[in-house]
Amino acid sequence: MSAFTAPPRYRNSGAFVHGTKFLHFGPIMEQGLKAAKSEIFMIDEVRPDGRVPGLKEAPEILIFIDEVKARSENMEFDYDAKEGTWKTRGIDGVIRPWFFQKVVDQRAGPGRGNVLFQSKEDPLMQANKVPKVVRPKYLLHATYWENVDGILREGIVPAKNPLSTSRRPFKNLLQGAESHIYTLRGGQSAPKFREDALQEQEPKGQAEASTFLVDEDRAGLDRRPDAIFVIDTKKAMDLGIDLELVQSSDREDNIYVRGSVPAEILSSCQPNIPANLPDTLKAKIVDPKSFEDVPIIDLSGDEAGLVEQIRYACEVVGFMQVTGHGISEELQAKHMDLQKKFFELPQSVKERLQLCDESPVRGYFGLGGEDLDQVLEKQVDEANGKDTIRKARKDLKEALDCNGVPFARPVGGYIAEIFAQPSQLPAEEELAGFREVLDEYASEMFRLSKRLLALMALALDKPRDFFEQHLTQPVATHRLLHYWPLKDYETEIGVGEHTDYGLLTVLKQDLVGGLQVLNAKDGRWIHCCPVKNAFVINLGDMLSRWTAHRFKSTVHRVVTTSASERYSVPYFLEPNMDTIIQFGGLCDGPGTQTSGASSSEAPPSSGLFSPPPREAAAQDTAEAILERFYRAAWISGNGNEGKRATDERWKMMEIGGKIMRTKQMEQGIEETDAETCPWGQALCWGL
C-alpha cells in the first residue's frame, strides 16, 4: 500500500495528503507539520465533496507530502484499513516543508484551487510541461506597486519578494524551494485592458466599482493586485530565450514559468484599475530605467553628474526620486510604524489635538479638513486669498501637521507666528517615543532638503550656499497622512490635483501606491511607483516663481484604487517668511515676458501646467504666498462644518495681527512673547 493508489486528480506521483485549517498554514510552513498528540494523519485520496476521512469539516488547505522523498529519509507510514487513513510520526515528530510537494487552498469561493506553495521538485512540474506548439502567446503576471520598479529593472524573479502576507514570513524557504513564477493565461492575442475589455460593462452604480481586470482570487493573492505585467512568449522565442512553461494541475488558467523572466520580454505593464474609474483619473506606468520619464537620482554619485541630473529633473520633468540619501531605513520604519499607531488612536484623542483658534496650522484635521483639487498656482492667485476655487472631488484623508523646524523663529506677520507654533502631539503615555522619532525624522528631512537646494543652486549657476541665507529662520510642515480606500471616484479622491506652495517637498510614501504626477515634459499623468528606500522630490510654487518657471512646480494628486489604506509623509519646506520671491529673481525662464518665450511651455495636451504670466518685477513675500495657499485650501480641523469658522478665524487672525504689530511699533517692542503680551494671548497670535 502507498500513496500511489490515490485517484487521478490527487495522484500527484505518490503524495500523501494532510488536511487542516488555513490559520495553520503559516506556522506549518515555518516550523513543519507537527504531530498534534502522537502521530500525523493523512490520506491517499480526497472525496469528491472535498471531505477528508476523520475530519468533521472539509479542510481549508491540503498539504501534499512527497512519499518517495519521505521514505528515502526513512520516514515510516502506517495504513489504517478501517479508517482508510495513513499515519506517521515524521522525523522526530515533524514533517519539514522540504518534504511538501505543494499546498492547495480549499476554502470556498473563487480562490479555491489556488496553489499557496509549489515545490520545484514536484514530479508534476516535469509531467505537465506545456509544449511550445500550444503555449499561449501572452501570459499575465499580477503584482503590487512595491514590486513594479524592481520588475521593470530586473525582470520577474521567483519568490524574490513574496506577494502574499501568508507567504512572506517564510521568504527564505520559498526562494530555495520554488523556482517558478505564477502567471495567468493571456491568450494568443494581445490582452485587452480596461478601455477595451470592459467597454461594454457600463457600471450602473457604485456597486460595480469592484470590477477589476484581475482580482485577488484569480491571481492567487490575499488582496487585489495593483499592476499586471504582460509576458510575450513569442518575443522570448525570437530572442532565443527558452521559457519553460508548466500547466498547473489545480487551476486551468494558471501556468508556471520556471526560472526568471527577463525584463526585455515584458511587453507592457498596466495598472489594475477599476472598471468605473473616470478617464480623467487614469495614469500610465513608465519604465524607471528611462531617466527622461522618471528621474531616479542616486545622491551618492559624483557632484558634477548630480548637478546635471538635478538640472534636467527640475527644468524638464518637474519631479524626481532620490536614493543614496543616507537616511536610516530603521528611522523610516519607526516613523511609519508610529504614524500608523497615531491614526489608530481613539478619535477623541485625535480631536483633542485638532486645529483650533489657539493652533490654526499645527495639529490634527480629519475628513474634509483640507481639499486640494485644482489648488494650482494660477487658480490660487486668481482666488486672491479666498476659497473660490471649484473643487470637483473631496479629499478622503486625515492628517497631523507638525512643526518641521521647531528651532526656527520666523520673522514676519501673523502667518509667520502661527507657523512657528509647537506641534500638538499625544502624551508620551498615549504613544511612547512619538515625539522623539518625529523630531529626529524632521531633522533628517531638513538636512536632506538643504543638500538638494545646494545642488539646485549649482544647477542655477549660483553659489552652493545661496539658499542658506534664506533658511536661517524657515518654516516647515512635517505632515503625517492617512488615506482611506476610495469608494466613489466621481466625488472622492485621495488628494486632488494641486501644486505645492513652498520651495520643495520631500515625500516618503508607503508601498500602497496611488501617487500620480503630471509630467511637465509631455503633459501625461504617470504613476510615481514606490521605489525601495527612495524619497519623492517635487518643487513648489515659490521656487517656480523665483526661477520664472524654469524650474517646474509639479502638478500631482493621489488616486487610491487599492483596497488597502495608504500612508505618506510629506515634508514641506519654505524659506524665511520675509524672503522676497521676485518673479525671475534667480534667472530668466519660460515665464519671463521679456525673454520672448511663451508664458507657458506646457504641451497642448495639458491644461494643468499653465502657470500665470507675470511681469519680471512681480514679487511677493514667502509669507504672502503661503497665506494665499492656505486660504485656497481652507485647512480646518473641523471638516466641512468648520469652513465658515475657518474663514472667520483667518479674518480675526489678520485683524489681530495688524493690531498687535501696530501696538508693538507704538511701544517700540520688536518681539512679543504670547504669554507676556499685554493685550492678551489671542491678539499675540493674531487671533
In a domain, 480, yes or no: yes
CA distance 507 to 505: 6
Give dist(CA 51, CA 76) in Å, integer.
25
> Do 42 and 155 reside in the same domain of the chain?
no
Number of domains composing the chain: 4
State the pTM of this model. Answer: 0.79
In a domain, 65, yes or no: yes
**CA–CA separation, 326 vs 451, rounded Å?**
11
Give the domain CATH number at 479.
2.60.120.330
> Is 579 domain-assigned?
yes
CA angle 560, 565, 570 (to 5 degrees): 75
Question: Which domain, by its residues, includes 84?
Answer: 3-108
Tell me the pLDDT band of 546, cut-offs 50, 70 and 90.
very high
Residues 546 and 417 in one domain: yes
Residues 442 and 551 in one domain: yes
Residues 63 and 185 in one domain: no
* Model pLDDT for residues 326-370, shown as the tens digit of each residue: 999 999 999 999 999 999 999 999 999 999 888 999 999 998 777
Q: Is residue 239 part of a domain?
A: yes
Same domain, 553 and 617: yes
Q: How far is CA 662 from CA 4, 587, 622, 668, in A?
A: 95, 37, 21, 10
The band of 594, judged by pLDDT with boundaries at 50, 70 and 90, is very low
Distance CA 264, CA 425 (A): 50
Q: Kindly state whether residue 80 falls inside one of the protein's structural domains.
A: yes
d(CA 637, CA 403): 16
Instruction: Classify burial at 191, counting beta carbons within 10 Å of its beta carbon; exposed 0-12, middle 13-18, buried 19 or more.
Output: buried
- Is the pLDDT score of 168 beyond 80? no
For 97-119, write each residue's pLDDT tens digit: 989 999 988 888 777 888 888 88
262 domain residue, yes or no: yes
Chain-centroid distance, C-alpha 536? 11
Same domain, 525 and 437: yes
Q: pLDDT by residue (tens digit) across 480-493? A: 999 999 988 988 99
pLDDT of residue 11: 41
Q: CATH number for the domain including 70?
A: 3.20.170.30
Same domain, 94 and 141: no
Residue 327 contacts residue 444 (beta carbons within 8 Å)? yes
Q: Which of 630, 659, 679 is the last residue of a domain?
A: 630
- For residue 385, is pLDDT > 60? no
* 376 and 466 both lie in a single domain: yes
What residues are paired with 80 via a beta bridge?
A: 85
- Asked if residue 197 has pLDDT above 60, the reply is no
Is the CB of residue 518 less than 8 Å from the CB of residue 525? Answer: yes
Domain closes at, from 250, 276, 302 = 276
Q: Which residue has the cell 475657518?
A: 646
> Looking at the structure, do residues 80 and 130 belong to the same domain, yes or no?
no
Rounded to a whole number, what is the distance in angstroms from the first to the last CA of the chain?
Answer: 87
Residue whose C-alpha cell reads 480631536 in the numeric block: 351
**Confidence at residue 205, expressed as pLDDT on a 0 to 100 scale:** 38
Residue 325 in domain: no
Give rounded-to-5 percent helix, strand, coil for the chain: 30, 25, 45
Q: Do 562 and 614 belong to one domain?
A: yes
The helix (run of H) or strand (run of E) holding residue 479 is strand 475-483
At 397-429, the pLDDT tens digits run: 999 999 999 999 999 998 999 999 999 999 999
Q: Which residues pair with 522 in a beta bridge?
A: none
* End position of a domain, from candidates 252, 276, 300: 276
Q: Name which of 79-93, 498-512, 611-625, 639-653 the model is least confident about.
A: 639-653
Share the mean pLDDT of the chain.
80
648 and 620 assigned to the same domain: no
Please determine, for residue 685, whether its predicted confidence score (pLDDT) is greater than 50.
no
CA neighbor of 179 nearest in space, from 139, 239, 126: 126
| Rounded (5°) CA angle 246-250-256 | 25
**The cell 507592457 sits on which residue?**
268
Angstrom distances, CA of residue 271 to CA of 285, 340, 490, 516: 7, 26, 19, 12
Residue 118 domain-assigned? no
Domain identity same for 657 and 613: no
- From the list 563, 513, 567, 488, the residue with the least C-alpha distance to 215 is 563
